[in-house]
A and B are shown apart, each in its own frame.
Chain A
Amino acid sequence: AQSVTQPDIHITVSEGASLELRCNYSYGATPYLFWYVQSPGQGLQLLLKYFSGDTLVQGIKGFEAEFKRSQSSFNLRKPSVHWSDAAEYFCAVRSNFGNEKLTFGTGTRLTIIP
């Protein structure tokens, strides 16, 4: 069965600092990978996705993520965070055929300090 691990429950960074959120997945083949962001009281917004091709993917709001097959990782990065980036971030995986459901990690809550 597929699974996702986000080892960091809560991260605090200063505004303007760089950010990396970790995500490791378990899946038998190459999965489809996603990062979603959820602001308080809001639904999930897609930041970026990886289906195939270039392993470095660019997303909205200045985010990027790199797929590393050898490490089963899909870490999310941003060179300089803004106060508006404070939110909860979810990594998710799904099969590239058959079962369509998303399996989510437990999320990482990001706090930005001035």
Chain B
Amino acid sequence: GAGVSQSPSNKVTEKGKDVELRCDPISGHTALYWYRQSLGQGLEFLIYFQGNSAPDKSGLPSDRFSAERTGGSVSTLTIQRTQQEDSAVYLCASSFWSPASGVTDTQYFGPGTRLTVL
């Protein structure tokens, strides 16, 4: 079946511009995660959605970063007034949440969006 998809695959922007990154999770996966991968910081958690709610936003590095999820499906990560240190690969993952156990299963990752801020 279809996996997690992300768009765009590459984004080059100028410092100070806003960018939006999109994630389409696997159908039926209620849990959705954003991570960032950069040379200096490795793989970092940004935010976790369960349905349309975000119970854990602890990884968002500043108030320039925000994310939303609508209809329990597509999610958008928005970075306002981009800075050069925002350059990284932004990875989205989704997983199935079991109502019976209250626990999510394995996270499946998309190919990522490579963001370059000039």
Interface residue ranges, A against B (CB under 8 Å): 34, 36, 42-46, 49, 90, 92, 96-97, 99-107
Contacts and interface: CB of A to CB of B under 8 A. Distances in A.
B103 A46 contact: no
Given A46-B107, A100-B33, A101-B33, 16 more contacts: A36-B109, A42-B111, A43-B4, A43-B111, A44-B91, A45-B109, A46-B106, A46-B108, A96-B103, A97-B102, A97-B103, A100-B56, A101-B48, A101-B59, A104-B42, A107-B43
Contact of A43 (B45, B95, B103, B109): B109
Interface in B48-94: 48, 56, 59, 91, 93
Contacts of A92: 43
B25 interface: no
B81 to A, nearest CB: 26
A103 B109 contact: no
Contacts of B95: 100
Contacts of B45: 101-103
Contacts of A36: 109
A42 B56 CA distance: 26
A33 B26 CA distance: 22
24 contacts: A36-B109, A43-B91, A43-B109, A43-B111, A43-B112, A44-B91, A44-B93, A46-B107, A49-B106, A92-B43, A96-B103, A97-B103, A100-B48, A100-B104, A101-B33, A101-B45, A102-B43, A102-B45, A103-B45, A104-B42, A104-B43, A106-B42, A107-B42, A107-B43
Nearest to A106: B42
Given A100-B31, A100-B104, A43 B110 contact: yes
A99 B48 CA distance: 9
Contacts of A102: 33, 35, 43, 45, 93, 107
